[in-house]
Amino acid sequence: MIMMRGWILSMMLIAACKQQDVSEHILSNKGKDASCAHITGTADGKTVISWIETEKGAETGMLYYAVSANDTFSAPLPVTTSTGVLPHAENMPKMVFKPDGEVIAMYGVEQNDARNKYAGRVLYTRSPDGGKTWLTPQSLVADTGSYDQRYFDMTILPNGEAAAIWLDNRKHTNDEGSTLYYAVTDGHDGFKQEKPLAETVCQCCRTALYTDTKGDIHIAFRDIINDSIRDMVHMVSTDGGASFSTHSRISADNWVVRGCPHTGPAMVRNGTAMHFAWFTMGGGQGVFYCRSLDNGKTYTQKEPVSTAPMAKHPQITALGDKSVMMVWDEPVKVVNNFNYRIGFQKRNKEGEVLETGLLTSDSSYSTFPVIKAMDDSRVLVAYTKKAGELEEVVYRFK
């Protein structure tokens, strides 16, 4: 009987370990407030998750990251020169790993400018030796006429250089909105040759910059159209960033809003199409999906993704050429309070729904998911989760 009980206990422990292997794993340091998860990859195929950590009650913090080659992530690694980083999940820090070994970490800090109390500044720091040491941070923009830079993104170009986009206060119109700027690195000399690409861009929504498998460079953002409509648009460069197409709406939602939605677009390409996910309250409310079969010349009719009307902050990834998967966060009422949960939807390469479900329970408070395909059948998802009075960054596989 004792041997039988021991065997049963052993089986229960093994089962618990197996269950734990597919559940949430905490990345951030204990006792710190952590947020703003982002997933990227190294030039040799390792997966990287980055995030911000602050001391309890502090308004700013430092950037950390962890590296994985086999589903197990390293201990948190600090970007040692990244001080004063301002946590903002729509303006989360980003990292890129260039093929030549240089790593770039970009993040936002407060500007404290009298002309705009919400103004921010974008800094970046570089590591010439793969993250072992970090250089003094420098401003993304040198022009003193630029006192507000926010909502940036980065990508690696086919030639191995890094490109960045961001929203900037500099513009040549009195119409509302910011200007979208684009710049690329010049070897190990930082970002150069900045140029404006669009004006009257919604000032408070995340932008998206993406290089597809063909080498085309895609940009998506929320535009302000006719002074009142805030819809998502897309533009593409087929010549390495030398020129970009005129931006066009991925969906004519005609969302008229005099305010800041604080939720940007996401896009990815597989073998058949460009796929898009975004939030709108025009012609329906929540997260929607569409695709383009002709590289942005036309777009399919939008389709609802989540039945929750306030589902927001979508992200999307391609699982090879087989399917795409989206994640988002949505509020859920529990008794007299609201929690947040993470939803997901998988679609095949033709855009047909394969599966829709939840990654987190109604009893948790989980927000701002990011996603990356690990192969053609499995994805990695990271997000922020409340843990008592603090928040932590966690990840899981699906």
Q: Which CATH class is domain 25-397?
A: mainly beta
* pLDDT for the residue numbered 13: 32
* pLDDT for the residue numbered 69: 86
Largest CA distance in the chain: 83
- DSSP for 300-357, please give it: PPPEE--SSTT-EEEEEEEETTTEEEEEEEEEEEETTEEEEEEEEEEEETTS-EEEEE
Mean pLDDT of 285-314: 95
How many whole angstroms separate alpha carbon 79 and alpha carbon 83? 9
Q: Are 290 and 284 in contact (CB under 8 A)?
A: no
**Radius of gyration for the alpha carbons in the chain, expressed in angstroms and rounded:** 21
Looking at the DSSP bridge assignments, the partners of residue 155 are: 163
* pLDDT for the residue numbered 382: 98
Nearest-CA neighbor of 188 among 129, 109, 107?
A: 129
Q: Are 109 and 85 in contact (CB under 8 A)?
A: yes
Nearest-CA neighbor of 235 among 215, 214, 249?
A: 249
Residues 6+ positions from 72 with CB-CB distance below 8 Å: none
How many whole angstroms separate alpha carbon 133 and alpha carbon 375? 31
Burial track 185-207 (b if 16+ CB lie within 10 A, e otherwise): beeeebbeebeebbbbbbbbbbb
Sheet order of strands, 390-397 included: 25-26, 390-397, 379-387, 366-373
Q: Are 224 and 267 in contact (CB under 8 A)?
A: no
Using CB atoms within 10 Å of the CB of residue 246, give its burial: 0 to 12 exposed, 13 to 18 middle, 19+ buried. exposed
How many whole angstroms separate alpha carbon 17 and alpha carbon 25? 12
Q: Are 306 and 278 in contact (CB under 8 A)?
A: no
Q: Does residue 83 sit in helix, strand or coil?
A: coil
Q: What is the pLDDT of residues 359-392, one digit of tens each?
A: 999 999 999 999 999 999 999 999 999 999 999 9
Strands 120-127 and 25-26: unpaired
How many whole angstroms separate alpha carbon 332 and alpha carbon 316? 22
Q: What is the pLDDT of residues 229-284, one digit of tens each?
A: 999 999 999 999 999 999 999 999 999 998 889 999 999 999 889 999 999 999 99
Residues 198, 292, 341, 73, CA torsion sign: negative
Q: What is the pLDDT of residues 137-158, one digit of tens each?
A: 999 999 999 999 999 999 999 9
Burial track 71-105 (b if 16+ CB lie within 10 A, e otherwise): eebeebbebebbeebbbbbbbbbbbbbbeeebbbb
Q: How confident is the model at residue 5 (pLDDT cuts 50, 70, 90)?
A: very low
* pLDDT for the residue numbered 87: 97
Looking at the DSSP bridge assignments, the partners of residue 358 are: 343
pLDDT at 3 over 50: no
Q: Does residue 2 sit in helix, strand or coil?
A: helix
How many whole angstroms separate alpha carbon 147 and alpha carbon 120? 7
Residue 148, both tokens: 């507000």
How many whole angstroms separate alpha carbon 370 and alpha carbon 313? 9
pLDDT at 21 over 80: no
CB neighbourhood size of 184 (10 A): 18
| Mean pLDDT over the full length of the chain | 93
Where helices occur in the chain by DSSP H, the ranges are 2-21
